[in-house]
Structures are given as structure tokens and as C-alpha cells.
Structure 1
Amino acid sequence: MASFLSDLVRVGFSKVNIIIFGVGTSIATARLLTPDQNGIIATLLVYPSLFMVLGSMGIRQSTTYFVGKEIFSLDRIRNAVTQIWLITSVISMVVCFFLFYFLSKNIPDYTLVFVSISCIPFSLHNTYCSGIFLGKNEIKEFNKINWIPNFITFLATVLLIYFFNLEILGAMLAYLLGHLSIFIALILKRDNLHLKSLSFDAEVIKKMLSLGLVYAIALLIVNLNYKIDVVLLENLSTSYELGIYSKGASIVQYLWQIPLLFSSIIFARSAVSKDGLAFSRKVAQLLRLSLIMVSFVAIVLMLLSKPVILLLFGEAFLDSVPVMQILLPGVVLLTVFKVMNMDLAGKGKPWIAMKSMVVPLLINLGCNFYFIPLYGSKGAALSSLISYSSASLFFLYFYSKETGIPIRDIIRYKKTDFEPFKLILHKIVHKLKR
């Protein structure tokens, strides 16, 4: 537990910085740009973000698994991952461009598209590298640099929009610089991907892709549940409604940083865990603790939603208040998936997420087609609420079935659940007395 708490503190520092600078960037774009411009930015980010998931081919997760289990040597894995990265970067950028060309209707300048898709190779590189860090259980090293993109993006956003008046282009260049910064940091630390041999290691690549593709498909389905509303809002509504939705969603989705505080640790430790059932029970305990913390923050945000939106984004985004309020219960429920999926992914079982998300994705699509024309951004939020709620129930059922832990044991609180809090409090009191 002491080792876990040590990792938790390190991850906590990273996650707090991610939240602060992420919210700071959202505030800057809201204060310096109009809701319509924010809607265009959301459009420019949606396809690259999906291809940063699909293009990754699940290599981060399969790398963590193979490195953690020591199935292949680290040099063989690194070389194979580098070759995969070069190929997937090119393919992802080309396909993403054509998606913008054929599906997007509100892009004012294709220079913005080129800047947007230029983020993909840097993002994929950083994602692949993180799999090596997690596989070696180097939580400390991983979190030393994990927050850098959000920090650079925030600074560049303020600089390029406020001082250079680059508006949407400035926001997109800031996003690119954020991804480029951690790419440079990894090169300086010599933890970047690099080729040691031009010959393809067919054995490693085949096994990584066979597992990675399952991760990629699972992650794509999961992320479509988060992003499909943005795609459909752009096509079924206006840039204004999309801008309003993106700001309301941006606040509540940071609640997932609370369970994600644990997720990197869970994933890395699950990959090397010898007693799978015992570890799954520990993850269930972390879920129960996460639900308490997420629910508490969600209630506060629900009660203070209007002052929060006005304080952060201003009156132009007042319509984001109902969006935020509708999304909050669904975000709380989806904490079930956010925490427990990392356990099964770390055990090389990503198909559980895929099974549990397919039906909610179809529900999400149907609801969006029905509600967006009627209610705009609020309709998209309602669709996400229904989708997130159903996804949580599906995943809880499949997780229970896969691990053999009854649902009542997963969700039932015990006195021992609160021992980590007691231990942290004891350490704080002890230090204050010294």
C-alpha cells in the first residue's frame, strides 16, 4: 500500500497540472474567441483525436502488456513499435484529411486542417512511448513529463490568440506545439522511439498487432461514445451549438481525471500482477472510493453550475449550464468503466470494453439523431447521459462475469475501503507534528 500511495502522489501531481492547464486553455479560448469559433475548434480536433486512438493500433496497451510480462526483449519491442509508428502516422494523417474533406461542412480554411492532422504523428509517438514506461512500471518517470503538453498548449494559446491575434489558427498551433513539446522532451531524455534495424521483426509486430488491434477497436468504440455527438452536432446543428456543448462537456469530463488518477497505476500493476483476482478486488475498492470523490465534486458542480460557467467562460457561454447539468450524472456513472477497464486491459482483455460499449454506441447514435435537431447542444448532452449510463451497467455486468466477483461485492462498501484515506491522514498528521 505504501508503494501504491507513493505512485498515487506522483500521478496526482501530474493529473492536477493536467486539469489546471487544460481548464486554463478552455477558459482562454472561451474568453478570447466566440462560441462559433470554439465550435470550429471542436470540429478540427474531433477526427485527429479519434485517429490518435485508432492509429495507435492499441500499441500502447499491447506494449505495456508485453514489456510487463517480459515476453520479448525491450530492444525488439522498441524497434517494432518504431516501425509501426512510422506506418500508422502516414496512414492516419491521409485518412483523417479525407474525413475532413468529405464530412466537415464548417471548416473556413484548410490550413487549419493541415495543422490539426500534423499533431497525429507526435501524439502517436508519445502514446507508444508511454506504453514502454508503463510496462516497466516507471510511473515516476512517466508522470514527470505527462503534463507538459497541457502546459505548453495553455501558454501558446494565450500567446498566439491574445498577443498575435491568430484566433482559430492560434488555438490549433498551440495544440500542435503541446504534442511537439513532449516529443522533444522524450528525445532529450533519450526515451524516444528509434530504429535499431530496418528489417521487420515479423514475430513481434504480428503478436503486438494481433493484441493491439483488439485494443484499438475497443478504444475506437469507447471514444466514439465520447466524440460522436461532436461529429453529429456539426452536421445536424450549428457551430454555435457545438461551441456551447464543447465548453459544458469540457468541465465535467475533467471529473474523469479523478479515477484516471488511479488508472495508470492500475494498468501498469495489472500487467505485472501475479494474483489477478486479488488485484481485481483491489480495483473494485478503488472504484468505490473514486465514486465517492467524483460524486462529491459532481454535486458541487451541479449546485454551482451557473456561477462556474460565468466565472470561467463568461455570459456568451451561459447556454452551457444545462449541458453541464445534464452530463454530470452520466459522467459519475461512467466512472465504473473508467476505473475498472484498466484492470482488464492490463490483463490483455480489451474485448470486454468492446462488448460493453457496442450497444451504448448504437443508443448514442439513435438518440443524437433524434434529440439534436430538437434540442441542439442539450440534445447531444441528453444522448450522452443515456449512453454513459447504459455503458456503465453493461460493463459492470461483463466485468463481474469475467473476474468472478459478484456485482454486489463490487459496489458494496466496506470499512476497509477507507483505510487508504486513514493512512494518508495519519501521514499528514505525523508530518505536521514533526
Structure 2
Amino acid sequence: MFKKILGTAGARLINAVVTFVVLFVITHNLGREGMGTIGLILLDINIIQLFIDLFAGSALIYMASRTSMANLMIISYSWIIVAIVGFAFLFGLMGFAFPELYHTVVPAGYEMHILTLATISAYMLTHYNLLLGKERIKIYNIISSVQTLLILLVFVVMIYVKKEKTVGSYVMALYTSYSFGVAASLIAVLRSEKKMSVYSLGKVVREVFHFGFVTSVANILFIGNKRIGYYLVRYFTGLSSLGVLTAGTQLTEGLKLIGQSISVVQFSKLANTTDTVYAKQITIKLLKVSVVLTLMGLIVMLVLPVSVYGWVFGAEFVSVKPVILLLAPGVLALAANAVFAHFFSGMGNPKINLYANIVGFSIVLILAVIFVPMYGFLGAAGAVSVSYLVVMIYYCYRFKKQTGIKISALLPKWSDVVEAKNALLGLLSKSSN
């Protein structure tokens, strides 16, 4: 299992490096407003994906080993079409009835791009989920890494070769990347299933909906928890301030690669087992490794002086360091939350994640409404960090209640630090080969 985690971490590391370089290119060529516009485009695509996840999200990972791949593809493909048509209608209605609110949420001129990219992305992520459900983690890592590298390659060509220093260049990079992801992942999915048969479709729809509804609502609240501040900052202080918040968020969330690498493999494993003792033990072990490795990354990021951030991203972005400081405690909590969330989902109990995200969203909404008008992007960063910490406390309580372990058992010991160090060295060794 740790071999798969290292492989996934290697892929996530590539993704993080690409994100960093793309961020560098954006900040030096498109400025704070360009960064803010791109942040809104990506956020809108993610929000559409959250509703698509009702029938095409993590439920596919859970169900892939329990039913026919053809069943799941028919259900998810059909739902994607319904969801995109629904959002196209919603965009039109909002633009007509609430134009000011509409252009706060959807950048002017990018409506069709957002809908089209969301469609392509939805099919790509559907295939990714099916591959994870079949534990085809190696091919998933390869495809997702190449897909991410294509964003950088196309974006750099558009900016430095074609000299098109516009947000449209980033949009073109997304089209290329997502299209490759759809095609390559579809081929991998078809090769992973020798016989594509359809049976008991109605029953499978009900099972996917039962699992997917709770998970989808939980994810909507989770993204709301993470990103409600984006819309408030855009409304109260404009695209320029949103650009700083987006840059700081992307930098700190680059550390999510650790928790995500661990939790992706964890969920894939737990979705294919009924052994609760094994699930508890492996979750505790992975939780500690995730937190320790994330802390190591945070320390490096926090000790860098403001001048370094200004030198790397330009004078417009020197204020990104305070954003990182405020987000740091929340990012550490997020490393734990990712492992907890996949434990409950993998054990078929996604309602716990729903409750956790209700708590988190309620807190961030209250705090952001109060502090964003007063402190701008710093208020948004602080609100998100506090909400992540509260969610972590809630997860600890529910995990303790379900498994009977003591809270002290979740705290990392020196042996966990050593194990995390060895895991990191293994990842670096793998990446250098």
C-alpha cells in the first residue's frame, strides 16, 4: 500500500510543481486581476462538478468493485448532460434577473468556456473515479500527471511563444489538458473491464444516489467552506485582492498533495474491505504520516521571508505571506481531515462527512461575513483556517466514538516522525529516478 501512496505522492508532487510554475507565469504576466479571474473560472468549474458528483463522484469509487462498469458509465454520462443543461439554464436566468450578482460569480465573457470545460472535466473525473475504484492507481497517476503537465506546456507556449498574455491562454491550456485526460482515461477504463454488461440498472441508480447524494452535499459544503471567501472578497474588495487570496491559497494548498496522496489510496483500499479493525489501524497510521509531512512542508513555507515571495511572484504579490501565515493552521488540520473523511466514506458512512462540512460551512460563513468587509482577503483566510480546525475537532470526536480509541492515540510520536521522514526520502528518491 505504501508503494501506491509513494506513487500517488510522486504524481501529486508533479502536480504541485506544475501549479507553482503556472502560478509564477500568471503572476508575472497577468497580474492580480488575471489571477483573480482565473480563480473564479476554476471555482465555477469546481462548483458545477460538485453537483455532477451526485452520480459521478466518489460513489463511483465505492461502487466500481460492486457492480458493472457499464452501469456506472451509463448513469454518470447521462447525469453529466442533465447537470450541464441545468447550469446553462441557471446562468441564463441569473444573467437576466440578477446581472450584478451574476458577474460577481461568473467572469464576464467566460460563461460558455466555463460550461464547456466543466463538461469535459466531468467526463475526465468520472473516468478517474472508475480507475480508482478498480485500484488502477498506477495508470491513474500517469494520466493525471501528463494531463497536468499539458496545462503548463500549452500555457507557456501561449504566453511566451505566441505572446498572448491573456486569461484566454490559460483557458486554452485547460481545454487541451482536459481533452487529453478524457481520451486517455476512457481508454484505460475500457481496458480495465473485459466485459461491459448492463444489468439491474434501476437498482444501481438507487445505490449510487444513496451514496452519492450525501457525499455530494458534503462536498458542496466543503467547497463552500473553502471558497465562500472568494466571492465575498470579489464583491467587497475586487479582483485584485482576490488575486492575492488565490495565490496564497494555491501555494498552501499545494501541501494538500500529501493528504490527498494518502487518502486516495486509503479510500481505494477501504472501499474494497469490510475489516473494521484494519480500517481503524491503517487510518491512524496514515493520519499521523499525513500530518507530520504536511507540518514539514509548512515550516519550510513559513520561514521564507516576504522578500522571497516578492522576488518569485512580483511586487504585486508581497502581501501573499500574511495569507500563508493565516492559512497554515487550517492546512495542517486539512491534512488530518482528508484522512478522516476518506475513512468514513470508505466504510460506507459518508453522513459523518456531511455533518462535518455543515459545521465547517456554518462557521466560515459567519466569520467571513463579519471579517471580509473589515480585513479583506486576510479576513477570508483567517475564517477558512478556523473552520478547518473546528472540523478537525469534530472528526476526532466522531472517530473516537466509532472506533473506541483514545484521542492520545491520534497524536504523532517520534516514531511517526521517523516513518514520515523515511516516506519523504522514499518519495524524493522515486522522483529523482
- Do the two structures share a fold, i.e. TM-score over 0.5? yes
Does residue 1:184 correspond to 2:183, yes or no? yes
Runs of 4+ that moved beyond 3 A: 92-102, 104-111, 187-194, 196-200, 414-429
Q: Does residue 91 of structure 1 match 2:83?
A: no
Decide which of 75, 78, 86 is 2:73's aligned counterpart: 78
**For residues 52 and 428 of structure 2, what CA distance do their matches in structure 1 show?**
44
Task: Pick the aligned partner of 1:132 from 127, 130, 133.
Answer: 130
CA 1:428–1:13: 2 relative to 1, 3 Å: closer
RMSD of aligned C-alpha atoms?
A: 2.9
User: What is the CA distance between 1:200 and its match in structure 2?
Assistant: 9.3
Residue 16 and residue 49 in structure 1: after superposition, are their counterparts in 2 closer, same or farther (change >3 A)?
A: same
Aligned to 2:60: 63
The corresponding residue for 2:144 is: 146
Paired position in structure 1 for 2:389: 389
Q: After TM superposition, list the pairs within 5 Å mapping 1:156-171 onto structure 2.
A: 156-162=154-160, 163-171=162-170
Shift in Å, 1:254: 0.7
Name the SS of the counterpart of 1:405 in structure 2.
coil
Q: Residue 118 of structure 1 aligns to a residue in which SS? A: helix
> Equivalents in 2 of 1:59, 1:164: separation in Å?
38
Query: Is this contact kept in 2: 1:54–1:219, CA < 8 A?
Result: no
2:287 aligned with 1:290 = no
Query: Hey, what's the Cα distance between the residues in 2 that align with 1:425 and 1:158?
Result: 31
Cα offset, 1:190, TM superposition? 5.9
Q: Deviations over 1:366-410 (max 9, x none)?
A: 111111111111111111121111111112212222333332222
Distance 1:299 1:98, change over 3 A: farther
CA–CA distance in 1 between the matches of 2:25 and 2:92?
Answer: 27
1:244 aligned onto 2:239: no
For structure 1, the 5+ residue unaligned runs are: 430-434
The answer for unaligned runs of 5 or more in structure 2 is: none
What is the alpha-carbon distance in structure 2 between the residues aligned to residue 422 and residue 98 of structure 1? 54
TM-score (norm: length of structure 2):
0.89
The verdict on how the C-alpha distance between 1:370 and 1:422 changes in structure 2, with shifts beyond 3 A counting, is closer
Contact 1:37 1:243 in 2 (8 A): yes
Corresponding residue for residue 28 of structure 1: 25
Corresponding residue of 2:50: 53
Is 2:235 aligned against 1:235? yes
Aligned partners of 1:89 and 1:124 also within 8 Å: no
CA apart distance, 1:15 = 0.9
Classify 1:305/1:377 alpha carbon distance in 2 versus 1 (closer, same or farther; 3 Å): farther
**Equivalent in 9, 15, 21 of residue 12 of structure 1:** 9
CA contact (8 A) 2:293 2:424 kept: no
- TM-score, length of structure 1 as denominator length: 0.89
Q: Name the CA distance, whole Å, in 2 between partners of 1:108 and 1:205.
A: 32
CA-to-aligned-CA distance 1:302-327 (integer Å, 9 cap, x gap): 11052442243111111112111111
Say whether the 8 Å CA contact 1:82–1:193 is kept in structure 2.
Answer: no
Relative distance call for 1:117 and 1:137 in structure 2 (3 A) is same
Aligned counterparts of 1:380 and 1:99: Cα–Cα separation in 2: 25
For the 8 Å contact 1:105–1:234, the answer to whether it is kept is no
Could you report, residue by residue, the CA deviation over 1:259-304 in whole angstroms, capped at 9, with x for unpaired residues? 1121111010000123122222211111112211111211121110
Establish whether residue 355 from structure 1 lines up as the match of residue 352 from structure 2. Answer: no
SS of the equivalent of 1:53 reads helix
